[in-house]
Structure 1
Amino acid sequence: MGCRMENAPQIDPTVPSPARIYDYLLGGKDNFPADREAAENLLRLSPNLKEGAQANRRFLIRAVEYMTQQGIRQFLDIGAGLPTQENVHQVALRHAPDSRVVYVDNDPIVLTHARALLADEKRVVAVEGDLRRPESILDNPEVTQHIDFGQPVGLLLVAVLHFIPDEAAYPAVAKLRDRLAPGSHLVISHGSVSRDLNEDVIEKGKEIYARSSAGMAIPRSREEILRFFDGFELVEPGLVPWPDDWRPREDEVRLPRLPGVDSYAGVGILR
């Protein structure tokens, strides 16, 4: 896959991006002053967000490992974010070298970095797409050339659905589900309303994301997040209230649920 840098969309560094905010929280360097300012404002509201982001990343790694153990060899990561350590393709290829991975994002800087990083890796592609328009992903020729939807797929929607309003989020996940073959897996992590934060702090957090390229952040309850798994059977231990509670490894640093951070995580299988 070529980088196609000449076709890269323009990047506005003055508008914070959720992907770059997340990159900053993970300790990454691919962010601008506006992203760092937004992240620091969020940390003033909820000081444990960095630890929450790291726990979310550990969940993603364990979920990919689990799916390779179940025979999944195709991965579709929507809202993939900026490349960091232990990306989906690195975990998948380490455990199953015949895996194929498609990264999807609508952030120009994500695509620029991913395409440069993956230029010589034929098993992985990065494409532009928006979860709010799932057909733009499902019918993208680069996606359909790389993913056989007649075979099980590992669909990852990690820390992305809380940026999509109800009227787009639920239909989008349903359309993606309807294209998947039985045996496919759905991986979701999703921000919720922390019981430790008062309404004023929650609203201030929403205002920060309202000024980002996402335009909003929508924390959902456990019941609302469970709706995304309609048609899927949750694998043990189900939809857990903290990412580190999902199949933790004995050799892994594991944090208990932290004040000010609520994020549900789970994996479902399509029967």
Structure 2
Amino acid sequence: MGQPHFIVFANEKGGTGKSTTAVHTAIALAAAGRKVAGLDLDTRQRTFGRYLENRAATIDRLGKALPMAKYEVLAQLDEAGLDAAIGRLSNDAEIIVIDTPGRDDPVARAAILKADTLVTPMNDSFVDLDLIGQVHPDTFKVTRPSFYAELIWNSRTQRAKHSGKSVDWVVLRNRLQHIQSHNLVRVGAALDELARRVGFRVIPGLGERVIYRELFPKGLTLLDLSDLGEVGLGHIAARQELREMVSGLAIPAAEADTPAPIAAAG
């Protein structure tokens, strides 16, 4: 099928909704008719892989053809193992979603070098912002990019040098508060300044909703509302957040295809 488009979810800090966002992105793209594969590099937590395992079990139990991505959890934890897994998944995939561990990891760094779209989810706080850049304690102005931002910059430079391809780095603001606050405004301003200096895009991600934790045991997503039973306005609002997030990622359409809309299930 040619070279797949690699979407790599990476953040060295845990608790940012990275794996949940990666699963929802993979399933949303599959629901839109794309051939999607997933690779979980976090062999300790395995949240991404377990989520899709739960989804496969639910598909078998219900006998329903829900949108699905084939997937692997990386077994051989080195660059050769990463390349081998990608080779297997690439046979029938136009998009590969890779979920990296929430820590610095040599295999994760190798995966970042393969990214066409690099997604860094972060919670809307200065604690998470510190991963990308440091701010002045009084003015909240950016003083310098962080080590992680420099790492991503160097990775993007290496990729451009070796392949001539650019990397679309997207910072995803997860768990945005729905009430405007001074902290929200200050974090947003600092992110905008860093985006200009370091070269990433900022888009809204998924809000803080209990529903995401409730979906995990069955491997369902917000695109499976018809299978969730009782559905409220919060589910509908969350599904719209998901659709806007995936649209904001701006994943290129397949060659000779027009962009497919995200399927509205339920």
Q: Does the TM-score normalized on the shorter chain lie above 0.5?
A: no
Q: Which of the pair has the greater relative contact order for Cα pairs under 8 Å at 6+ separation?
A: 2
The TM tier, using the shorter chain, reads 0.3 to 0.5
TM-score, structure 2 length as denominator?
A: 0.39
